[in-house]
């Protein structure tokens, strides 16, 4: 797949990706699942313990991700109006806040003005 054709043309990359996606899987999903479960189930009886530990680790990661996402959302909601205060601006200026410390100012041309005209 990495024949370098995508460098010459973006269409080459798309075509290579389509060819890769059209290939059949090396191992069917059912066989892969059986292989993973067989590795977890070893002769020492520790397979169920490994399964429990794997599930617990996965749930801990999901809980941590959810908690961090909720904290970020709450911190964005708790921005006070004073934090995002801007000085009085002309009517043709818009402000978008990327975060609490990064304003982006857009200066719009008045309606009906010609391109390149300054006032």
Give the pLDDT confidence score for residue 5 in this predicted structure. Answer: 47
Average pLDDT over residues 19-25: 87
State the pTM of this model: 0.31
Nearest residue to 1 via CA among 22, 23, 21, 17: 17
Q: What letter does residue 96 receive in the DSSP assignment?
A: E
Sorted by sequence, the CB contacts under 8 Å of residue 104 that are 6+ apart come out as 95, 96, 97, 98
| pLDDT reported for residue 17 | 83
Residue 105 forms beta bridges with which residues?
A: 95
Q: What does the block give as tokens for 13?
A: 């990359």
Q: In this structure, what are the phi and psi dihedrals at residue 45, rounded to the nearest 5 degrees?
A: 80, 10
35-60: pLDDT as tens digits = 877 777 654 566 677 778 888 999 99
């Amino acid at each position: 797949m990495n024949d370098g054709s995508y460098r010459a043309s973006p269409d080459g990359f798309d075509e290579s990706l389509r060819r890769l996606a059209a290939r059949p899987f090396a191992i069917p999903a059912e066989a892969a699942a059986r292989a993973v479960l067989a590795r977890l189930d070893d002769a020492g009886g520790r397979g169920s313990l490994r399964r429990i530990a794997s599930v617990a680790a996965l749930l801990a990661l999901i809980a941590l991700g959810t908690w961090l996402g909720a904290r970020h959302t709450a911190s964005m909601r708790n921005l006070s109006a004073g934090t995002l205060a801007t000085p009085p601006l002309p009517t043709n200026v818009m402000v978008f806040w990327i975060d609490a410390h990064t304003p982006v100012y857009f200066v719009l041309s008045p309606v009906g003005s010609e391109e390149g005209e300054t006032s």
